[in-house]
């Protein structure tokens, strides 16, 4: 069969349309197979960003809702945060944006996991690696570095992640 015959009249339009559809399907398949569509943590906090968690005392059974709000940053790079406990503002400590991120992010490439455990939040199960930080706290960390739970070393307290404007 001659190639010129394929592109005569309506047959040519049909061949071009078929090729265009095949290319669109190929690109759609490649795009949908992209594994980077999962959650991620924005590593540059901005004024107004927040982190919310529940702090639980396992001995007394009490708990408190906490929210840390990034409120200002000065020329030296120090940031001001407002901490709310059960909706009441507590203080405005100064710290760097990196410390703000350390409340929800743990670089798993810098430490070795000591095990795995499933953490259930809002009825959903998350498989987490278990890590120890420099203070001896036990961290339950997702595969993208989000700390879902932190058991504080030598205490009866745990912090359980609720939400953050940095997680998308």
Are residues 63 and 7 part of one domain?
Answer: no
Q: Which range in 11-20, 70-79, 80-89, 96-105 is most confidently predicted, on average pLDDT?
A: 80-89
Distance CA 165, CA 101 (A): 11
Distance CA 43, CA 29 (A): 30
Mean pLDDT, to the nearest integer, of 51-62?
95
CA angle in degrees (0–180, nearest 5) for 112-110-82? 115
pLDDT of residue 26: 43
Phi, psi values for residue 85, rounded to 5° = -115, 120
What global pTM score does this model have? 0.71
Mean pLDDT, to the nearest integer, of 139-162?
94
Q: 83: domain range?
A: 50-164
Distance CA 124, CA 159 (A): 17
**pLDDT-based confidence at 16, cuts 50/70/90?**
low
**8, part of any domain:** yes
Are residues 154 and 77 part of one domain?
Answer: yes
pLDDT at 94 over 80: no
pLDDT of residue 22: 47
């Amino acid at each position: 069969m001659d190639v010129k015959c394929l592109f005569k009249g309506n047959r040519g339009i049909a061949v071009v349309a078929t090729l265009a559809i095949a290319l669109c399907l190929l690109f759609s398949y490649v795009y949908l197979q992209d594994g980077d569509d999962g959650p991620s943590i924005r590593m540059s906090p901005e004024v107004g960003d927040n982190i919310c968690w529940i702090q639980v005392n396992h001995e007394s059974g009490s708990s408190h809702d906490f929210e840390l709000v990034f409120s200002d940053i000065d020329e030296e790079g120090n940031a001001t945060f407002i901490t709310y406990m059960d909706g009441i503002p507590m203080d405005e400590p100064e710290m760097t944006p990196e410390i703000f991120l350390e409340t929800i992010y743990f670089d798993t490439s810098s430490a070795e996991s000591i095990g795995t455990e499933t953490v259930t939040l809002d009825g959903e199960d998350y498989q987490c690696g278990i890590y120890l930080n420099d203070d001896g706290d036990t961290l339950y960390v997702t595969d993208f570095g989000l700390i879902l739970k932190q058991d504080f070393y030598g205490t009866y307290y745990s912090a359980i992640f609720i939400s953050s404007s940095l997680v998308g």
